[in-house]
């Protein structure tokens, strides 16, 4: 069965914020993701292991780590397919 299209193009399903893909965090060779057990959702804690991989720096969850990781100026640590 076909669904009716909305009359207003601003209300189209493609513009619905719940259907948009979340911002991606760059893939980094120094980042560690720790999966936390939650009943209804997947939650990850993010740690940065740059520069020496000995002392992890906690960055919080994925949402709070996104601006930190994307602002990183050490471009050599990101995977080549991210350029």
Count the neighbouring beta carbons within 10 Å of the beta carbon of residue 63: 12
Report if residue 12 sits inside a domain. no
Report if residue 2 sits inside a domain. no
Count of structural domains within the chain? 1
Give just the sign of the alpha carbon dihedral 68, 71, 74, 80: positive
The whole-angstrom separation of Cα 19 and Cα 66 is 20
Which range marks the domain in which residue 31 is found?
A: 23-82
Split at pLDDT 50, 70, 90, the class of 56 is: very high
Query: What residues does 48 pair with on adjacent strands?
Result: 31, 57
Report if residue 16 sits inside a domain. no
| Residues contacting residue 31 through CB under 8 Å, at least 6 positions apart | 25, 46, 47, 48, 49, 69
Residue 58, pLDDT above cutoff 90: yes
Report if residue 41 sits inside a domain. yes
Report if residue 14 sits inside a domain. no
Residue 4 has a pLDDT of 64
Query: What residues does 33 pair with on adjacent strands?
Result: 46
Report if residue 48 sits inside a domain. yes
Q: What is the pTM of this model?
A: 0.59
Report if residue 46 sits inside a domain. yes
Token pair for 32: 């560690």
Q: What mean pLDDT do residues 36-51 have?
A: 83
Report if residue 17 sits inside a domain. no
């Amino acid at each position: 069965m076909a669904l009716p299209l909305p009359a207003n193009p601003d209300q189209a399903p493609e513009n619905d914020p719940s259907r948009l893909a979340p911002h991606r965090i760059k893939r980094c060779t120094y980042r560690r993701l720790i999966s936390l057990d939650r009943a209804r959702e997947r939650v990850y804690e993010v740690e940065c292991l740059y520069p020496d991989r000995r002392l992890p720096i906690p960055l919080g969850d994925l949402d709070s780590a996104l601006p930190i990781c994307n602002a990183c100026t050490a471009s050599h640590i990101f995977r080549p397919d991210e350029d």
